[in-house]
Amino acid sequence: MPRFTKNRSVKKDLAPGSLVFIGERKVENPHITLMDYNEKKLSETPVTDLGPLKDIIDSQSVSWINVYGLHDTDLFQKLGDIFDIQPLFMEGILNTDQRPRFEEGEKNLGFILKMIHFNHGGIQLEADQISIVLGEKYVVSFQEHSTNFFEPVRYRIRNAKGKVRTSGTDYLVYILLDIIIDNYLNIIAILGDQIENLGKEIIAKPDGKYSSEFYNFKIEISFLRKNIRPVKEMILLWLKSDTLLVNKKTKPFLHDLANLITQAEENIEIYNDLLIDGMNTYNANISHRANEIMKVLTVFATIFIPLTFLAGIYGMNFKYFPELNYRFSYPIFWVVVLIIGVIQYFFFKRRKWF
């Protein structure tokens, strides 16, 4: 399946807001977990019945519902009804080709972005779509498959680390986004280190073959740019929102998120420029080598032009050549040839033509 786009033919002729899964099915059966906490208590339970989820909307604690697997449209229809999620946003959650976006509804806020990681071979990047719905007392997150992306957040909740147990749902969403954006910076750092090493290798071994490496790095940088650049727009829209779902104390943290995503975007551009400069250097080296080879071949060809002329004359089938009957004609011919060749050689050498 292409990494940059996905087949949307399943949505053909359907009305906007229709719940259709677009993407690769990554879990056999969707499952849901619930973390319910406040400053004093914490409970973690798997969710097998959606009915009790209606009660957490008005609870006094923070409830974090995490859904693994996106292909069960009936399940998503029920979740959308329970948490009053807009149909168009639900449609975006099920479309794993969705561009990162921010959605402001009457009762909740929606976020869609990508968690980027290297594939199992560690060769190329992959993206899993993460969707988050922020309500007054609940956060619903949707993941394509079972992963431990948010395990550091769960650790902080279980052990009451930091402000998470004393803060609201907006702070929980902040730390979830912070995990994702920090991961962007880590991925860029790993990829950037490889790009810098490639640049050093080009300088050390200018005659190496690097075309395929440049091509692969350009694909990965383009993949990062496609999935990370819109996240900045998403964060800025959240900052500009007048929603009551964000506490004033959380605003400074959102500014920090904006700074982090700006840093990620700038780093991508830096490494993209380094790739371009490296490709130009590599192509210049190739052109220089070709020019040096052509220069040497041209010099040798030029040396042999007058010699070929002499050989051509004495290779003609004329009966009367005065020199042919002279005893020393052959050695004199070679002396003349060598003198002409040596003179041309030193002439070119003095002009530094090779």
In SS3 terms, the chain reads as: CCCCCCCCHHHCCCCCCCCCCECCCCCCCCEEEEEEECCCCEEEEEECCCHHHHHHHHCCCEEEEEEECCCCHHHHHHHHHHCCCCHHHHHHHHECCCCCEEEECCCCEEEEEEEEEECCCCCCEEEEEEEEEECCCEEEEEECCCCCCCHHHHHHHHCCCCCHHHCCHHHHHHHHHHHHHHHHHHHHHHHHHHHHHHHHHHHHCCCCCCHHHHHHHHHHHHHHHHHHHHHHHHHHHHHHCCCCCCCHHHHHHHHHHHHHHHHHHHHHHHHHHHHHHHHHHHHHHHHHHHHHHHHHHHHHHHHHHHHHHHHHHHCCCCCCCHHHHCCCHHHHHHHHHHHHHHHHHHHHHHCCCC
Question: How many domains, in total, are found in the chain?
Answer: 2
114 and 29 co-located in one domain? yes
pLDDT of residue 283: 82
175 and 258 co-located in one domain? yes
Q: What is the pLDDT of residues 276-290, one digit of tens each?
A: 888 888 888 888 777
Cβ proximity of 292 and 206 under 8 Å: no
What's the rounded Cα separation, in Å, for the pair 118 and 73? Answer: 28
326 and 197 co-located in one domain? no
Residue type, 70: L
Residue at 25 is within a domain: yes
More confident residue, 157 or 344: 157
What's the rounded Cα separation, in Å, for the pair 133 and 243? Answer: 14
Q: Is the pLDDT of residue 112 over 80?
A: yes
pLDDT of residue 17: 64
Domain-ending residue, one of 231, 264, 284: 284
79 and 147 co-located in one domain? yes
Instruction: Categorise residue 160: left if φ over 0, alpha if ψ from -120 to 50, beta otherwise.
Output: left
Domain-ending residue, one of 284, 313, 329: 284
Which tokens go with 78?
A: 């029920």
pLDDT of residue 13: 58
Q: What is the pLDDT of residues 268-279, one digit of tens each?
A: 999 999 998 888
Least confident among 77-86, 167-176, 316-325: 316-325
Residue at 308 is within a domain: yes
Residue at 2 is within a domain: no
Q: Which domain holds residue 342?
A: 288-350
Which tokens go with 341?
A: 């060749």
pLDDT of residue 305: 84
40 and 125 co-located in one domain? yes
pLDDT of residue 109: 95
pLDDT of residue 311: 82
161 and 295 co-located in one domain? no
What's the rounded Cα separation, in Å, for the pair 158 and 180? Answer: 20
pLDDT of residue 233: 93
Residue type, 335: V
Mean of pLDDT values over 63-88: 91
Cβ proximity of 156 and 172 under 8 Å: no
241 and 317 co-located in one domain? no
Residue at 327 is within a domain: yes
Q: What is the pTM of this model?
A: 0.81
102 and 125 co-located in one domain? yes
Q: Is the pLDDT of residue 89 over 80?
A: yes
More confident residue, 231 or 324: 231
Residue 60: is it exposed, middle or buried by C-beta count within 10 angstroms (0-12/13-18/19+)? exposed
306 and 172 co-located in one domain? no
The CATH number assigned to the domain holding 340 equals: 1.20.58
Residue at 3 is within a domain: no
The CATH number assigned to the domain holding 76 equals: 3.30.460.20
Q: Is the pLDDT of residue 10 over 70?
A: no
212 and 69 co-located in one domain? yes
- Tell me the pLDDT of the chain averaged across its residues: 87
Confidence of residue 59 (pLDDT cuts 50, 70, 90): confident
Domain-ending residue, one of 284, 303, 327: 284
Confidence of residue 132 (pLDDT cuts 50, 70, 90): very high
207 and 305 co-located in one domain? no
What's the rounded Cα separation, in Å, for the pair 12 and 343? Answer: 78
pLDDT of residue 9: 65
pLDDT of residue 167: 92
More confident residue, 24 or 268: 268
Calculated CA dihedral for residues 156, 160, 163, 168, nearest 10 degrees = 90
What's the rounded Cα separation, in Å, for the pair 327 and 313? Answer: 19
Name the nearest CA neighbour of 106 among 138, 127, 83: 83
Q: Is the pLDDT of residue 11 over 70?
A: no
87 and 132 co-located in one domain? yes
Q: What is the pLDDT of residues 225-265, one digit of tens each?
A: 999 999 999 999 999 998 889 998 899 999 999 999 999 99
